[in-house]
Structure 1
Amino acid sequence: NRSFEFAAPLMGWEQPNSDRHSLNDKSGYANAIRTEKEVNSRILRVEVKNAAGYSLLNEGFRGMGVKANDLYNVSVMASNQSGNISKIKFQFVDDAGKVVGETAISVSGKDWKTYTGQIKAATTVNKAKLKITFEGTGVIDMDMISIFPQDTWKGRKNGMRKDLVQMLYDLNPGFLRFPGGCIVEGRTLEQRYQWKKTVGPVEDREMLINRWNVEFGHKLTPDYFQTFGLGFFEYFQLSEDIGAEPLPVLSCGIACQFNTGELVPMGELDPYVQDAIDLIEFANGAATSKWGKVRADMGHPAPFNLKMIGVGNEQWGPDYIERYKVFEKAILAKYPNIKIVSGSGPFPDGEQFDYGWKELKKLNAQIIDEHYYNTPTWFKENATRYDDYDRKGPKVFAGEYAAQSDRPASVNNRNNWLTAISEAAFMTGLERNAAVVAMASYAPLFAHAEGWQCGKTHADHHRDGTRAGDARGCRRTRFTA
């Protein structure tokens, strides 16, 4: 919550020596206030009455994993409103409040400026917090408070975690699907993923609630929002870095049918279709084109060479087919060489699955996405699933698969050796039928050890499972083709 745009503006932030019901003369107090900005309008206004008594704490996302001797870049936008505040001090503190690294940044003037500094961690802490204090008293406004490791993937400023991307690179993936998944659809159309809001300056990218925020009652994550520090530019760049073909997936004008199933009227579908057309231009267009220029201005004048695009995620029924037809016609009219991935719904069989395949085959669909979240028994029994698929029909994209030890929304759903081995059995069928199954991807790719939703723990953002003091990612029991 670096820019205070969450539904609860101070979620993740604490003021341990302050009380909202007090005048706080011995400390101070901070409030999120709205500005006139159209996007990300909130800032934090801090009134420091006693610098020795006032502090802010940020817990990070389930803590901040910091490693001994590593450097961390600090940045903050600030504007002094009144008084004599001259410095902002940033510190990493452990559970006991012990300081394990710090830096002080001098601030001055009422004009908004971006200030930077650097913290060197003295020791490894799996769940550090960020503590902010001030020199002087008065009122200061702050926004976009951010800390990144200096040692990122390819050394990019404010880039991705090096260890996690290295894991991905080592898998030698053929493609990378993004952003998924049900967040493409949103619980409502307003909450759908909109790629144009994820490019350009990070401070101008509009925050959005993550669809998984409150989806499962047994695993609520009320602090799960999308700030789009990783947007479509970073996604295309990552795909290029690891040698994987990008497969972006866009909304087809239907919100998640497990939630509201809200439909955009057919007469209002054009903006959704245009988003797909514009995304291809953003990826492949000349640097002189409207969206190609946005890409070039972000530092990548050369095209990303996008070859395929997904229309919808797990939509089903006549409403999906009706909308898919419009997307297909428009995309192929302008970009005839782009491959379009369509969808067969969330289940690997049944009435809606059969309907989707029948209608998409009539349209000579190129690639049809199938999803499987089922029992280990189902995966073992379906190792021969594609032996009899039509070799002359559409190709299959096994877009999401994962064996479930219990119901997907069950607190007891865990990955184990049985789920892993059953997936491996199923994958022998995928490999044997490569003439039909063009692509396959396990889901999810990464998950937080304490923030997973669907029973899988793929990467621990703080520990490696063998050395409790390591702030590293880890691999879990899964088979990968």
Structure 2
Amino acid sequence: MKRTSIYAAALALVSLGVPQALSAQPVKLTVEANKPVAEIQPSMWGIFFEDINFAADGGIYAELVKNRSFEFLTPMMGWKELKTGNASGKVLIENRGDAHINNPRFAHVTVDAANGGFGLTNEGFRGMGVKEGEQYNFSILVRNSENSPVKLTVELVSADGKKIGECSLDGFKDGWNQYTASLTSKATDAKARLNIIFTGKGSVDIDMVSLFPHHTWKNRPNGLRADLVQLLYDLKPGFVRFPGGCIVEGRDLANRYQWKTTVGKVEERKQIINRWNTEFSWRPAPDYFQSYGLGFYEYFLLSEDIGAEPLPIINCGMACQYNTGEVVPMNQLEPYVQDMLDLIEFANGDATTKWGSLRAQMGHPAPFNLKMLGVGNEQWDEQYVDRYKVIAKTLKEKYPNIKLVASSGPSPDGDRFDYLWKELKALNGDLVDEHYYQSPEWFYKNASRYDSYDRKGPKVFAGEYASHTKGGTAPESRNNWEAALSEAALMTGLERNAAVVHMASYAPLFAHIEAWQWNPDLIWFDNLRSFGTPSYYVQKAFANNKGTNVVPILCGGAAVAGKDSLYASSVIDQKSHELIVKVANASASAKATQIEVKGVSVNAKSASCQVMQAQNLADYNTLDTPTKVAPKPAAVKVAGSKLTLTLDGRSFYLIKVKYK
């Protein structure tokens, strides 16, 4: 073949996203495995939960009924009247006002159904996902003040109108009482709905109409969706940051997240509008509210279940500065500070304290052992620093061992960022939260971002980050391999700088494929299925293999942070005596690579290798192809102290070997 033809063929391969031929000279990397330079925090790689993209109601919180207590701004949203036979009836929404301030509304149902039935049908969250053979638990609060002889039939109905499950209730008494029944679905349907049909003649009051799968995470009644929690558990996260995010701030202070309204009995929790309801005009979600069935107690329990440290974020007296920018006056900040003190007591206090007693009554007598607390989300300027100073002084006086997470603002650089870092450093802050939603190019460029950070100053919490590509028309297409590979490159820099970077979490976490407001996101789901994105598998590679200590990996005596388009980090696990190397090759060319391990002897037979790559940078996972881009076994040869492998173009490798 002529030289010009070879050149043209190479260009064609690059344009198709296919790796070029093997590089001529092997790249030589050196790992100094006997020279640990920094400890890795057990909480290094975690998860960030925010109720965006229907992540809570309609997502991980397994309730199938939308607007179960008629508290949406439009009380009958999600509901429609239903009549069969010659029945008649009507529904009147009543409001108890101050008599039941957190859940004032209920439905007064009048029915005349000697023949047929009258009731309501609920559409669920973009439908109800039910599975053949699975049990579903129905519950409802009913008050039968008139001693009416009415009965209730509960039906699961498929998308095409077929009845696929049924149960019944009767014997309703005066006073509010909960009635329960179970049914089994005869079919699998992602778009089922629920009918509640009254027969007989008379009137009853109803509230808290609920349907949960029996099979939830750990089979807890009224619990969390098992497949979504399993994906979190499999990450082995070091922490769970909750409940956000901008959710904490609210569009205004009246609609900020207040943790005290999210604990106690579920029927007494105060529902509010979700701030992502109308935040983006191009993705409106008028039916997006927060029922708080997933409240602070459940967040703490989730953290415990998956072996992660809880990291709650509390409003600091400031609403979202992109919206109203409201702030509470400094002389009225005390209730906000008290909320933080009371939260620590709720998490850590014994059962003799006010808030520790409530935790015990809810089913968890033992403390949750809270160690960290976030002060606001991504606030900025003097108004934040003024409030942080007051909050930090009070909290540190009473709870000196609680580490506080402070904001560096919404951007990874600029005047606001520089100002906050200067102030927080002067205050000897514990952790500074940095956020970056940037392009892949930014991620590659910033792999060495923390090499020059002051090791004696506050530690870094990379609290929200994601590489943003253009993607295609499908919402999940922005979570492509181009994004994940650039994130892997940046994460080698975070890991290499574990002396200053103590925590990191991708954001956002969840997205309903039919009800999202923001993308990209780490995990996508519909009413029945879920999958991890390529970014998910990159996160998993780091979090499952974080080791205990960073050791240097060098190329020509320098950190591997972009030279020859390679990005690398290495750690040892002193407990398992394992060396773990992570390498991203951002170029289209395959690279023959030799990794020499110094200072320890390696066990050749123990060596293993996994690779993540894709035919095209635009490749992504879907509900139908959930592992299209996921780790696969790869070859690595070990001879003496040298590990030899070929790094394919645009790939990410995880190499592990035991050492003495």
Distance 1:355 1:166 in 2: 41
For residue 34 of structure 1, the aligned residue among 66, 86, 95 is 95
Instruction: Classify the secondary structure of the residue corresponding to 1:429.
Output: helix
Higher normalized contact order (CA 8 Å, seq sep 6+, divided by chain length)? 2
Per the alignment, residue 81 of structure 2 pairs with: 15
Instruction: Classify the secondary structure of the residue corresponding to 1:43.
Output: strand
For residue 252 of structure 1, the aligned residue among 316, 319, 330 is 316
For residue 475 of structure 1, the aligned residue among 517, 532, 549 is 532
For residue 163 of structure 2, the aligned residue among 93, 99, 105 is 99
Change (3 A) 1:165 1:411: closer
Q: Which amino acid aligns with 1:166?
A: Q
For residue 429 of structure 2, the aligned residue among 350, 362, 365 is 365
* Contact 1:80 1:107 survives alignment (8 Å): no
Distance 1:306 1:232 in 2: 12
Per the alignment, residue 44 of structure 1 pairs with: 107
Aligned residue-pair number:
467
Q: Which amino acid aligns with 1:309?
A: L
Distance 2:295 2:476 in 1: 33
For residue 387 of structure 2, the aligned residue among 295, 308, 323 is 323
Per the alignment, residue 146 of structure 1 pairs with: 210
Distance 2:117 2:206 in 1: 19
Structure 1: runs of 5 or more not aligned: 19-23, 464-470
* Greater C-alpha Rg: 2
* Contact 2:152 2:199 survives alignment (8 Å): yes
Instruction: Classify the secondary structure of the residue corresponding to 1:137.
Output: strand
Q: Which amino acid aligns with 1:216?
A: F
Instruction: Classify the secondary structure of the residue corresponding to 2:298.
Output: helix
| Structure 1 consecutive aligned stretches of length 4 or more whose deviation exceeds 6 Å | 410-413
For residue 163 of structure 1, the aligned residue among 224, 227, 250 is 227
Distance 1:412 1:126 in 2: 19
Distance 1:413 1:318 in 2: 39
* Contact 1:71 1:120 survives alignment (8 Å): yes
Per the alignment, residue 298 of structure 1 pairs with: 362
Q: Matches of residues 45-64 of structure 1 in structure 2 within 5 Å?
A: 45-50=108-113, 52-64=116-128
1:60 to partner: Cα distance: 0.9
Per the alignment, residue 9 of structure 2 pairs with: none
Per the alignment, residue 21 of structure 1 pairs with: none
Per the alignment, residue 57 of structure 2 pairs with: none
Aligned-residue RMSD, C-alpha: 1.9
Distance 2:123 2:522 in 1: 22
1:110 to partner: Cα distance: 2.3
Distance 1:359 1:411 in 2: 39
For residue 195 of structure 2, the aligned residue among 108, 131, 140 is 131
TM-score, normalised by the number of residues in structure 1: 0.94
Distance 1:34 1:54 in 2: 22
Render the CA deviation track for 1:149-188: whole Å, top value 9, x for unaligned.
Answer: 1111112111111111111111100000000100100000
For residue 332 of structure 1, the aligned residue among 388, 396, 400 is 396
Q: Which amino acid aligns with 1:40?
A: N
Q: Which amino acid aligns with 1:34?
A: N
Instruction: Classify the secondary structure of the residue corresponding to 2:519.
Output: coil
Instruction: Classify the secondary structure of the residue corresponding to 1:127.
Output: strand
Q: Which amino acid aligns with 2:290?
A: Q
Instruction: Classify the secondary structure of the residue corresponding to 1:383.
Output: helix
Per the alignment, residue 222 of structure 1 pairs with: 286
Q: Which amino acid aligns with 2:69?
A: S
Change (3 A) 1:52 1:457: farther
Render the CA deviation track for 1:245-295: whole Å, top value 9, x for unaligned.
Answer: 000000000000010010000000000000000100000011101111011
Q: Matches of residues 64-75 of structure 1 in structure 2 within 5 Å?
A: 64-75=128-139
Instruction: Classify the secondary structure of the residue corresponding to 2:526.
Output: coil
1:452 correspondence with 2:516: yes
Render the CA deviation track for 1:320-351: whole Å, top value 9, x for unaligned.
Answer: 00000011001000001000000101100111
1:395 correspondence with 2:459: yes
Distance 2:191 2:526 in 1: 7
* Contact 1:367 1:394 survives alignment (8 Å): yes
Distance 1:458 1:358 in 2: 32
Per the alignment, residue 436 of structure 1 pairs with: 500
Q: Which amino acid aligns with 1:8?
A: T
